Each structure stands twice: as structure tokens, then as C-alpha cells.
């Protein structure tokens, strides 16, 4: 059942919101016990919210998400609800305000039932970089495999739930479409600036985008339509509306075919079933420079954003016994995870005087060239198709054998659209060895409607 159908049943008075939500919470508790999807389970808050909605229902109050359970990634601020971005350094932090996207969900009468698990501050492709406070989420299809990251908890929960639900997620370099592919759900990442970032705990300001994960393209689209729009609280948010272009022929990226053979075969088979013309195009700059440019820019911005977590005003606090430098070092050493420390060190190095021109400035120039390369292709083709990930979800035991660089290379297909701020959508294309595998469609800026259209066609043939 779709979200729209469920909302219709609730509005017709055929279902008590309180009874419905209590049943949902029972099911959600079982899902969380099995898959470790949630950093915080908002049981009491959800019941109180349902009681309010039951009263509003009698007054014929409208809302596109009336009574629908929504999960939010743990880097999105929810008033009074623990919000940690998956980090011990933010343990017990409860925001005094809501993120703009949360406010919009509440205005449409949605219910935030929990905060989903993620890599610490979004630092990871496998959701294994969780802090000591949280367990890593497990893939619904095989508990020995990763959910993907960093929005892994959201994707796993949406897949496992047998009730209408949709998740608020966030992407910096692929954190929406990556877990969507590994968990067999729909991941929709919008144009940079289409959704306000106010209330998002930053990873990298020029790259972060709030998007949606749903069971279907329709559900993911519905939530995006609700949360998008200009926000005076976010100077990077935009006023333009998404546009739609008729699809006559699409492009497939030549370099993206250098993936596992089974992934490639499924990708090409899906395109064949779509019965749409496609042409192979090359994006050589993206293939060569997207990964290094992305990680230099992202880590540089992350090291700046995380500087405030020093044990004074922001982050975990302790009694100050030594001088400030020793105190700051003690707090950051004790409460940041290993990957966070690595990215802080690398990012600080890349933007230091003497190295800034050699690394950070060059990465920005490469980013500009990558954007130009994408725009040139998208001028002739409204959509670029690629596999979402180069492989199916790997097993945890295999991930432990990867070097940091090999971990970063897993984002080879997703960092390009994120660097360019382009909208992209992952839809399940089928299964390989009983594990889901996604196909990704990238459109021009504000081309959400175009990629959504082709995503729905993939659903119809799957």
C-alpha cells in the first residue's frame, strides 16, 4: 500500500491513529531488535503525536502525511529528541529546534518515530564507522552484509517495514543512493539547494543534500515535494522549481561499465527492458578526478565543521584540569571515532597554508571541470544512466580487509553527481545472488521530474 492510500484510509476515519501507531511501534521495535536500524526510538513521542492527530482528525484537518511514520537520519535536528550524527561527542544532545525539513513533515501531520543509524558524521560507505554508542545496522537480505552508508539505517528500516513509511536521509558523496542500492529500495537525492539544510549537522557544506528513501519512487517523490523549497534560514537554498524534459534518448557512462560483470549485465538488461534508446558517452575527467577532488573538498570542509566540537559550548564536556589545548585534545581524542580523526587530519593538512594551492584549490578547479563535463553531456541527453554501485553489498568480514583508500573507491559512481550538485535516483534493478542491485539515473540541475519519470518505468518492468 502506498503512503497516499494509507493517508486516505486514516482520513476516512477507518483507522484510529493511536491504534495504528501503537501497532507500527511494535513492528518497528522488532525491526530494530533484528537489524539495529535506529539510534533513537521515539516511542513515547510518537504516541503523544498520534493522540494529537486523532483529535485533529475529528476537525477534518488535512495533511499529506497524516499519521504516517517517518524516520529521520540522526544528523537532522528534531526538537527534544537525541540527535548525535552517530557520534559519541554529541552524546545526549537534544536540539532546541527542528530542522526545516522536519518542520515541513510535521506541518503535513507526519510522525517522527525515530532517528536512523548512520556512519559517524556521515563518514563512510558501509555504515560500519558507527561510534561506540551504537551498533552497525544489518542488511535485511543478509545480516552478514552491510546496508551501505552513510544512511544505512534508513534504507534497512524502509526495506524491512511491511507498512507504508518513508525516510529522511542525507547525502554528501552518495549516502542516499548507496544504501538504497544495497537494500533494494528507492533513493532520491535532489539538486543541491532544492531542500533547505537548516538543522542539518554538517559534514561538508558545499556537498550536503537532504533527500528521501522510500519503498517506491512515488513515496520518495511525495516526501521530496513536501520538504523542498526556498528557506530564508539557508542562504544556499534555491527558489526555482524542478523541470521536466521529454526523454527520447539517454546516455550511459562508458567508464561506469567497469564494474562487477554481473552488475554490468543486470544494468544493460534493465536498459534493454526499458525499450529506450541510449548512447554510450565518456566522462573521462569525472572518472579520473571525481574521487580525489571529492575527498579533498569534503575532508577540508569536514575538518572546519568539526573544529567546534572541543568540549566548550559544543560537544561532550568534562572538567577542565589542564590548559585549554590539552583539554581540547583530550576531548577530541576520547570522543571522535577513528574515521572522523582520519578525515580531520587529512582535511586540515589539505587546507593548510603552503598546501592549500596544491590540494584544495586544485580540487575546486577539478570540480568546476567535472560540472562542465556533466553539463555538456546533459545538454544532449536528459539523463545519464549508470549502475549505482560497482558491486552488491559486501560482507562485513570482507570490508575489514579493505584499506581506507579501497573504502573511498567504493564511491566511484556516486561522487560525480554529488560533486556537481546534480539530482540522482537509485531504483532496484533486480537481484544478484539473492542481493538487490540498483540502477542510477542522473539528471540536469532541477531535473528531478525527469529522473523520477524514468525511475517509475524501471519499477514497472522489475
Q: Which residues are catalytic?
A: 73, 150, 175
Helix extents (H) in 76-213: 100-107, 152-160, 177-183
Q: What is the rounded distance in angstroms from the CA atom of residue 310 to the CA atom of residue 89?
A: 9
- Give the integer Cα–Cα distance in Å for 48 and 81: 14
- Cell digits for 298? 569534503
| Grid coordinates of 426 | 537509485
Closest CA to 222 of 208, 212, 210: 212
In eight-state DSSP terms, residue 195 is B
First to last CA, the chain: 17
- Per the rule left: phi > 0, alpha: psi between -120 and 50, beta: everything else, 359 is alpha
Interatomic CA distance for residues 163 and 28, integer angstroms: 10
d(CA 203, CA 119): 11
**In 3-state terms, the chain is what percent helix, strand and coil (to 5)?**
45, 15, 40
The helix or strand, by DSSP H or E, that contains position 442, with its residue range, turns out to be strand 435-443
Question: Strand locations in 31-134, DSSP E?
Answer: 38-41, 69-73, 111-116
Amino acid at each position: 500500500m502506498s503512503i497516499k492510500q494509507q493517508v486516505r484510509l486514516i482520513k476516512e476515519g477507518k483507522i484510529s491513529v493511536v491504534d495504528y501507531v501503537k501497532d507500527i511501534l511494535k513492528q518497528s521495535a522488532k525491526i530494530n531488535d533484528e537489524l539495529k536500524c535506529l539510534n533513537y526510538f521515539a516511542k513515547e513521542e510518537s504516541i503523544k503525536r498520534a493522540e494529537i492527530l486523532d483529535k485533529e482528525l475529528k476537525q477534518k484537518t488535512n495533511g499529506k502525511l497524516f499519521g504516517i511514520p517517518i524516520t529521520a537520519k540522526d544528523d537532522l535536528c528534531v526538537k527534544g529528541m537525541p540527535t548525535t550524527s552517530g557520534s559519541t561527542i554529541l552524546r545526549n544532545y537534544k536540539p532546541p529546534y527542528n530542522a526545516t525539513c522536519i518542520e515541513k513533515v510535521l506541518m503535513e501531520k507526519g510522525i517522527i518515530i525515530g532517528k536512523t543509524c548512520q556512519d559517524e558524521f556521515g563518514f563512510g560507505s558501509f555504515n560500519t564507522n558507527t561510534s561506540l554508542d551504537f551498533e552497525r545496522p544489518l542488511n535485511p537480505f543478509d545480516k552478514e552484509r552491510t546496508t551501505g552508508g552513510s544512511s544505512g539505517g534508513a534504507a534497512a528500516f524502509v526495506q524491512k517495514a511491511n507498512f507504508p513509511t518513508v525516510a529522511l536521509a542525507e547525502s554528501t558523496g552518495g549516502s542516499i543512493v548507496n544504501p538504497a542500492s544495497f537494500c533494494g529500495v528507492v533513493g532520491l537525492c535532489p539538486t543541491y539547494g532544492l531542500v533547505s539544510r537548516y538543522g542539518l549537522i554538517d559534514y561538508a557544506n558545499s556537498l550536503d543534500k537532504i533527500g528521501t528513501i522510500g519503498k517506491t519512487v512515488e513515496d520518495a517523490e511525495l516526501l521530496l515535494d513536501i520538504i523542498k523549497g526556498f528557506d530564508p534560514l539557508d542562504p544556499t537554498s534555491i527558489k526555482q522549481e524542478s523541470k521536466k524534459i521529454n526523454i527520447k534518448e539517454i546516455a550511459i557512462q562508458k567508464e561506469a561499465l567497469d564494474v562487477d560483470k554481473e552488475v554490468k549485465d543486470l544494468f544493460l538488461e534493465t536498459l534493454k527492458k526499458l525499450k529506450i534508446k541510449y548512447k554510450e558517452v565518456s566522462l573521462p575527467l569525472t572518472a579520473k578526478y571525481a574521487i580525489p577532488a571529492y575527498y579533498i573538498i569534503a575532508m577540508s570542509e569536514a575538518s572546519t565543521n568539526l573544529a567546534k566540537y572541543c568540549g566548550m559550548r559544543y560537544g561532550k564536556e568534562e572538567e577542565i584540569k589542564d590548559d585549554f589545548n590539552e583539554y581540547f585534545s583530550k576531548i577530541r581524542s576520547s570522543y571522535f571515532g577513528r574515521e572522523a580523526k582520519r578525515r580531520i587530519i587529512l582535511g586540515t593538512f589539505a587546507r593548510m597554508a603552503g598546501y592549500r594551492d596544491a590540494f584544495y584549490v586544485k580540487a575546486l578547479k577539478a570540480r568546476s571541470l567535472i560540472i562542465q563535463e556533466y553539463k555538456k553531456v546533459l545538454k544532449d541527453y536528459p539523463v545519464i544512466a549508470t549502475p549505482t554501485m560497482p558491486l552488491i553489498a559486501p560482507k562485513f568480514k570482507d570490508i575489514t580487509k579493505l584499506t581506507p583508500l579501497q573504502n573511498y573507491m567504493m564511491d566511484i559512481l556516486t561522487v560525480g553527481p554529488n560533486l556537481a550538485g546534480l539530482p540522482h535516483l537509485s531504483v532496484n534493478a533486480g537481484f544478484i545472488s539473492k542481493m538487490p542491485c540498483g540502477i542510477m539515473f542522473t539528471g540536469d540541475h532541477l531535473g528531478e521530474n525527469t529522473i523520477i519519470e524514468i525511475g517509475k518505468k524501471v519499477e514497472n518492468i522489475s
